[in-house]
Structure 1
Amino acid sequence: MKITSLDPARCLPLPDAGLGALETGRGNLPLESVEVSASISGLIAGVEMAQGFRNPFDVPLEATYVFPLPDRAAVTAFRMEADDRVIEGLLKERGQARADYEQALREGRRAAIAEEDRPDVFTIRVGNIVPGERVTVRLTLSQPLPYEDGAAIFRFPLVVAPRYIPGTPLDGPQAGDGVAPDTGAVPDASRISPPVLLPGFPNPVRLSLTVDVDPAGLDLRELASSLHLIRQEGDRLSLQPGERLDRDFILRLSFDASTSLQLDGEGTFALTVVPPPLEQARTPRDLVLLLDRSGSMGGWKMVAARRAAARIVDTLTDRDRFAVLAFDSVVEAAFDGLREATDRNRYRAVEHLSRMDARGGTEILEPLRQAVSLLGDSAHERVLVLVTDGQVGNEDQILEQTGGALSAMRVHTVGIDQAVNAGFLSRLAGLGAGRCELVESEDRLDAAMDRIHRRIGAPLVTDLSLKDLETEPGTVTHLGSIFPGVPLRVYGRYREGAAVTVRGLAAGATWEERVPATVEANPALRAVWARAHLRELEDRYAMGEHELEPQIVRTSLEYGVLCRFTAYVAVDSRQVAEGGPGHRVIQPVEMPRGWEMQAAAPVTMMAPQAAAFRVPAPGSPLTAGAADESPDFMARPAGGFGGSGPRAFAPPELEGGQAMRRRRTFARAPKAAPVTPARHSMDAIRPQLVAELERLKATRGVPDALYLADLGSRLAVLAAFLGGHPELAALARELEAADQPGTDLAALWARAIEVLTSLTSTGGAGDGGARGAFWKRT
């Protein structure tokens, strides 16, 4: 091979260009600009976000952009602007919106669609952008500002950080265009994993962010931005030019909040209750501390996490018991079980924490299970504290498998990152009526630790209820508890009333406060309530209540607020191209500031198969899988333990029958422990059944008795996971007997193909007509 040397003088690097950066006269990426305009009034912010796209290619383009929004934000409007035309978006059921979008592209018309993939991760697609054309899409949203210790916080995320994707890759078409494959644990991983730009990539997206602040009668004392330099002109703040989309924007507004009840005059209320001057009750606690030591926690985050964890241990007294678990792909305990919080044991725990460094993948599910097991049915107050950046993709799987148990204890989360997964961490804390504390820099750590120190203890007021205000049943958001320094915020729908009385228990005695109402025509109140209500419904859906889908869709459409089951779509009536786009690009995103490329790499790749399990003791049999009752685990063929990637799932003819038999001698899935019947629909396991069906089809002509028997053991657990499924359970029993003498393997193989094909079809047998996964609907 002939290699031609290039003249170094003709190949000078571009200033600040990263390795592999390219440049053309017209640019090389479709997203040109992001403009955020926020208006803060009291404790609510209204925001308009504009994204500018340009087609630098010679054919019509479809551009995809995966981006974050505040997890509590209510998206209430969507608009596309192109060629002096303005097209207002319509909110529709997600499948219908996608069908309208795809039809418009086929007909050569411009179209744009906005979808929610997580409470704080969204995707916009803009199709049929003609060569050289610019298109702007605008989102309108409202968000409440959390208020703690005399300061409200306006947090606007600007980048989707790489997330750890556990599970087995699924066969078939992917749900999105991202870099991570869809898996059994994260069936929409390809929708939340955009490619990442190399450090120093030239010509970044132009970022403009302005905030107009109206104190709304409050005594505003100070404005402070913790991660960005800002300019202030009167009541308007703006970012310095040249900032990149690589970290959250965080603005603190210092003022004194007051107890209030706001009515919008159209049936929505917002209640704020400032913590009363009470002494904090102190009862014995059983506390489990989980420390994330995965690769994404490298650098200052690991230092901050160790300090935060040590400070939490220091809050304990001799009346408490505790355990400390550090996790990445494995779980390491400072000591066995719960120990008395003596000086000696606290010292041992802090010493153990001081040796932690970042490594491995973010396997959160297993340590959460172990924490739930440790806390058990303790008579003491049960407290779980999770210290992490939360960068995982299997949020729904975690909520489904641990949400019920976590709701019976107090859960506090400490998020450490400049681009933290705040949506997931606040969902966990909300389940356990605890607090979510976010730490964005070392400078903020000490102040955050002071708040954590006070709130890890018992809340001031518990068992809250409302009276004297007639509310619509099922519309009041979760009441939770009142913590020191943190006002209670409640939203809901009401029928009539001019005041509300908040009642609860403080130090074992009844506590009440009556709050008179003021009427204020603020349309944002309804949107903020609707988003909070939808988020609670979506969390219940993720935990297995799939019958809630019609109610979620109905609420979203009635109140005009985007959710995971709906989408905004804007379709131009004018034809601008012949057929669909000739080129498609998914916009790469910035690496979050403070992350290193080597730390980010593992979180966008499939986890090792043994990652979620406790490492067996030396000399013990390999029984790690017996404790895992998730359908994802049971979808793994024998021999999946310790594998690395899809190779562990090759059918017998790809690896040889003898290889399968050798693995079978030590890795055949044991009979699973009975699974408590739950309210799960076929949708919950359909991806696993599809994967099993495709692998089974690949064995055609060489049906293997041991493979079929192992398949039966896995299907048996899936049937139990559904709370009992006669057709699937019957097939499982037949397959488990495949290695008995005289079995007609060919006939059994054909029957398994027939049954699994029926069960994996949308609306198939035993499914009651259930629809496919909402992120894949067309």
Structure 2
Amino acid sequence: MNCCGLLTPEKEPVPLKSIEVELEVRDHVATLVSTLLYENKEDKPIEAVFVFPLPGDAAVCHFSAVIGQTQIVAEVKDKQQAREEYDDALSSGQQAFLLEESDQSPDIFSLSVGSLPPGESASIRLEYVTELAVQADDGLRFCLPAVLNPRYQPQGASVQVTSVPASLVPYSLSFSARVSCPRPISKVESSSSLDPLQYLNAEKTQATVKLAAGHKFDRDVELLIYYTDAHQPTAVVESGQASAKTGTLMGDPVVMVSLYPEFPQSVMSSVASCGEFIFLLDRSGSMDCPINNSNQQETRIASARDTLLLLLKSLPMGCYFNIYSFGTIYEHMFPKSVEYSEKTMEEALKKVEKMTADLGGTEILRPLKDIYSQPCIPNQPRQLFAFTDGEVENTKEVINLVKKNSGSHRCFSFGIGEGASTALINGLAKEGGGHAQFITGGDRMQPKVMQSLRFALQPAVQDVSVTWDLPKGVSVTVLSPPITALFQGQRSLVYAQVSGQVRSSEAAEGCVTVKYSLAGHRSQNQLHFTLKAAEDTGLTVHRLGARTLIRSLEMEEREYSGQQDVGVKEKVVELSVQSGVSSSFTAFIAVNKSDGKEIQGPLVRRNVPAYSEYFSKGYLKTYLLQTSTLKDPLLQLVSLQKASGCWLLDAALAAALGKTSEEVEKPKPASVGQMWATILALIWLHGFKTDAKEEWELLALKAVSWLQAQNVPFVTECVEAGNALLGCSVQKDSLGL
């Protein structure tokens, strides 16, 4: 374990001294400023190259460096031009800095720090804006990926990430966040230690929070922010840049509309107890890699097996299901989808337990064709869940196939680990009218997948349209791709450029209306908003709007690559340069031309090794084979549940509850019979696993329905006895009984 961390090829420390991070969160949008201090302690000039991840939808909008007393602000230029300028600067003895997005993935960046003279230090400032993802429990999630865990692209292998022991982290991290929202901030949580939340006003709409002192940046830093009444639709209008030309994206105001559709209760109460659920699982060799850095023992395939257990236990009685798995070849569990019953569920679970990452490459097109060749089952809407950790060369063909079949199904996609293709995962969900999830860093797969299952059980929304009602002389150009899917309570963001002048001196109002068909009924949600620009928002909304448009154009360019002229690429470069936001075709370049001095001596390149030799492929496999972990207690209990929703009172259940058979049997009230086991399981879930409620909520609802059908006598007495046995204090009402 000694040969890892940020080291040069000669095992000397790379000169990164400290990282200072300031985060500003406004409602559901975040601006992050990161300052990295480097120092060259060697006796010759060096070039250090760092590869590091950023959030997948981040828009990098500022990059600068301070050397001595000189500040150099980087410009956004065409990527090829920027690389040439960087090489020219180094060859002429000048200092230069280059920040560029990886050709492989839009959420990986490389920073080249060029020609640092001996004894010199450089301070690098990086700024980006990002939307915060809504979690299953309505928290907004911000994740700062650890620079220490860079990904690398070895020849012929997928992108990998490995962790570095905290004792070897050679630099310090300071992290502070300021949060503001029109609604009160209820709490801020983190997987890392935080100082207490400090409110800045009596309304609790502004607060600051810091990482506790002594944090070692050996893993991602995650913040979860919770607001009161989180599901309020909002609209923010941001003024254009004074120096930009009217009529351009940066010169005109931009509006960001945040929609949370509320479906009629009459429709939601009939949430599907039917459907054909098809699970498509990647079993290529890379699924044997660890799912994240903090737990080297859990592999992606093992996590996928646990997830399938939860999914199969949570399906409603009366539905149909099948499981496909793929690599270079593909397999299906049943020749066609089967009805969900105790027998078919148990048969599927036995096969799932034996699944390994042994099917070779990542060929997803053939199993998809097979799935779509199967006729749909009447009155059982098809829902496809696709899990993969890789990229495919025929992304366009795969997405087009899903689009072609979008009328007959919804597609929910899951990108597992750091190398998953954002274009593939987002494309599958967008064209399949579903929802995309990415499982990276310290994320657990299960809560994200169960959130998608809850979405899949909602009725499908069709014919979505967004219309704008604006004062005379005012118009909008929508920057976001069209909305193709809506889910109850799930946020949809729309960015639009506002053109024209408001004639009246009074604060003019606009209105945006979302119309859609739901279970055969036409519904709509409206949001009225003022066209008066919000104060002091910087250019955050403009940059996120530009980022959204850039990503759409990049996808278009990939779709038609080789079939049209370079017009789309030119549009992306022009938009990227105008907005100062990174893209796949541009890079940030900064050259220090101030003192005119040439840097003497040969330049030594310092690539940062991205993984510990201990965890290189050969060792990793042995390590994983030698390590066996006890089954998660939650999954142990879940695995014992029957398809109908009940549990049996037996030795296995007693062991899962941490008791003996005798201890479980003794306090059982008379006349309750097998229902006692199900009540105990529910009390245990509510008493000990509230932090994982999104994982077991659906199967618990199934258990409650089963109990209600049995008409349980002495419910209050049973719950009291169960609490006494398990040492809990769960209320009968919170169980749903």
Normalising by the residue count of structure 1, what TM-score does the alignment of the two structures yield? 0.64
In structure 2, runs of 5+ residues without a counterpart are 199-206, 240-251, 292-296, 501-508, 623-737
Query: Which residue of 274, 277, 288 maps to 2:260?
Result: 274
Q: Which residue of 1 aligns with 2:138?
A: 150
Q: Which residue of 2 aligns with 1:215?
A: 180
Q: Following TM superposition, by how much is the alpha carbon of 1:399 offset from its aligned partner in structure 2, in angstroms?
A: 2.3
What CA distance in whole angstroms lies between the structure 1 residues aligned with 2:9 and 2:479? 54
Deviation digits for residues 333-362 of structure 1 (CA, Å, limit 9, x no counterpart):
32334444454333322221122345676x
Going from structure 1 to structure 2, the CA distance change for 1:249 and 1:431 (only over 3 Å counts) comes to farther
Going from structure 1 to structure 2, the CA distance change for 1:200 and 1:154 (only over 3 Å counts) comes to closer
Q: Which residue of 1 aligns with 2:171?
A: 206
What CA distance in whole angstroms lies between the structure 2 residues aligned with 1:254 and 1:307? 28
What CA distance in whole angstroms lies between the structure 1 residues aligned with 2:577 and 2:100? 14
Query: Which residue of 97, 118, 123 maps to 1:136?
Result: 123
Q: Which residue of 2 aligns with 1:250?
A: 222
Q: Is the 8 A contact 1:286 1:321 kept in 2?
A: yes
Residue 555 in structure 1 maps to residue 558 in structure 2: no
Paired letter, 2:146? L
Give the stretch that moved more between structures: 63-72 or 485-494.
Answer: 485-494
Deviation digits for residues 715-752 of structure 1 (CA, Å, limit 9, x no counterpart):
xxxxxxxxxxxxxxxxxxxxxxxxxxxxxxxxxxxxxx
What CA distance in whole angstroms lies between the structure 2 residues aligned with 1:141 and 1:350? 44
Q: Which residue of 2 aligns with 1:401?
A: 397
Q: Which residue of 1 aligns with 2:368?
A: 371
Q: Is the 8 A contact 2:3 2:11 kept in 1?
A: no
Q: Is the 8 A contact 1:275 1:482 kept in 2?
A: yes
Q: Share of identical aligned residues, percent?
A: 23
Q: Which residue of 1 aligns with 2:674?
A: none
Deviation digits for residues 451-506 of structure 1 (CA, Å, limit 9, x no counterpart):
23311234563332111247655623341322133122222223367111111111
Paired letter, 1:228? S
Q: Following TM superposition, by how much is the alpha carbon of 1:578 offset from its aligned partner in structure 2, in angstroms?
A: 4.7
Deviation digits for residues 352-393 of structure 1 (CA, Å, limit 9, x no counterpart):
1122345676x33x13541243124855644321335x3x3x
Q: Is the 8 A contact 2:21 2:34 kept in 1?
A: yes
Query: Which residue of 229, 237, 240 maps to 1:263?
Result: 237
Q: Following TM superposition, by how much is the alpha carbon of 1:58 offset from its aligned partner in structure 2, in angstroms?
A: 2.5
What CA distance in whole angstroms lies between the structure 2 residues aligned with 1:96 and 1:204? 35
Going from structure 1 to structure 2, the CA distance change for 1:324 and 1:205 (only over 3 Å counts) comes to farther
Q: Which residue of 1 aligns with 2:26?
A: 41
Q: Following TM superposition, by how much is the alpha carbon of 1:161 offset from its aligned partner in structure 2, in angstroms?
A: 6.7
Deviation digits for residues 558-585 of structure 1 (CA, Å, limit 9, x no counterpart):
2221100011100110344457852111
Going from structure 1 to structure 2, the CA distance change for 1:61 and 1:360 (only over 3 Å counts) comes to farther
What CA distance in whole angstroms lies between the structure 2 residues aligned with 1:428 and 1:246? 33
Q: Is the 8 A contact 1:399 1:542 kept in 2?
A: no
Residue 95 in structure 1 maps to residue 83 in structure 2: no
Going from structure 1 to structure 2, the CA distance change for 1:262 and 1:60 (only over 3 Å counts) comes to same
Deviation digits for residues 617-636 of structure 1 (CA, Å, limit 9, x no counterpart):
xxxxxxxxxxxxxxxxxxxx
Q: Following TM superposition, by how much is the alpha carbon of 1:137 offset from its aligned partner in structure 2, in angstroms?
A: 1.7
Going from structure 1 to structure 2, the CA distance change for 1:20 and 1:581 (only over 3 Å counts) comes to same
Alignment of 1:484-503 (within 5 A): 484-495=488-499, 498-503=510-515
Q: Following TM superposition, by how much is the alpha carbon of 1:263 offset from its aligned partner in structure 2, in angstroms?
A: 1.9
Residue 231 in structure 1 maps to residue 195 in structure 2: yes
What CA distance in whole angstroms lies between the structure 2 residues aligned with 1:359 and 1:501? 49
What CA distance in whole angstroms lies between the structure 1 residues aligned with 2:441 and 2:61? 32
Q: Which residue of 1 aligns with 2:410?
A: 410
Paired letter, 2:486? I
Query: Which residue of 180, 199, 208 maps to 2:154?
Result: 180
Q: Is the 8 A contact 1:322 1:340 kept in 2?
A: yes
Q: Which residue of 2 aligns with 1:744?
A: none
Residue 505 in structure 1 maps to residue 505 in structure 2: no
Residue 482 in structure 1 maps to residue 486 in structure 2: yes
Cα RMSD after superposing both structures: 3.7
What CA distance in whole angstroms lies between the structure 2 residues aligned with 1:335 and 1:237? 52
Query: Which residue of 524, 541, 548 maps to 2:557?
Result: 541
Paired letter, 1:260? T
What CA distance in whole angstroms lies between the structure 2 residues aligned with 1:527 and 1:449? 30
Paired letter, 2:90? L
Q: Following TM superposition, by how much is the alpha carbon of 1:128 offset from its aligned partner in structure 2, in angstroms?
A: 0.9
Q: Is the 8 A contact 1:153 1:252 kept in 2?
A: yes
Q: Which residue of 2 aligns with 1:453?
A: 453
Paired letter, 1:154? F
Q: Is the 8 A contact 1:107 1:580 kept in 2?
A: no
Paired letter, 1:526? H
Paired letter, 1:230? L
Going from structure 1 to structure 2, the CA distance change for 1:287 and 1:242 (only over 3 Å counts) comes to same
Q: Is the 8 A contact 1:323 1:334 kept in 2?
A: yes
Deviation digits for residues 174-214 of structure 1 (CA, Å, limit 9, x no counterpart):
xxxx6612x6xx9xx7xx67xx7885486424242424232
Q: Is the 8 A contact 2:47 2:604 kept in 1?
A: yes
Q: Is the 8 A contact 1:67 1:122 kept in 2?
A: yes
In structure 1, runs of 5+ residues without a counterpart are 1-15, 164-177, 603-778
Q: Which residue of 1 aligns with 2:526?
A: 514
Q: Is the 8 A contact 1:492 1:529 kept in 2?
A: yes
Q: Is the 8 A contact 1:476 1:493 kept in 2?
A: no
Equivalenced residue count is 555
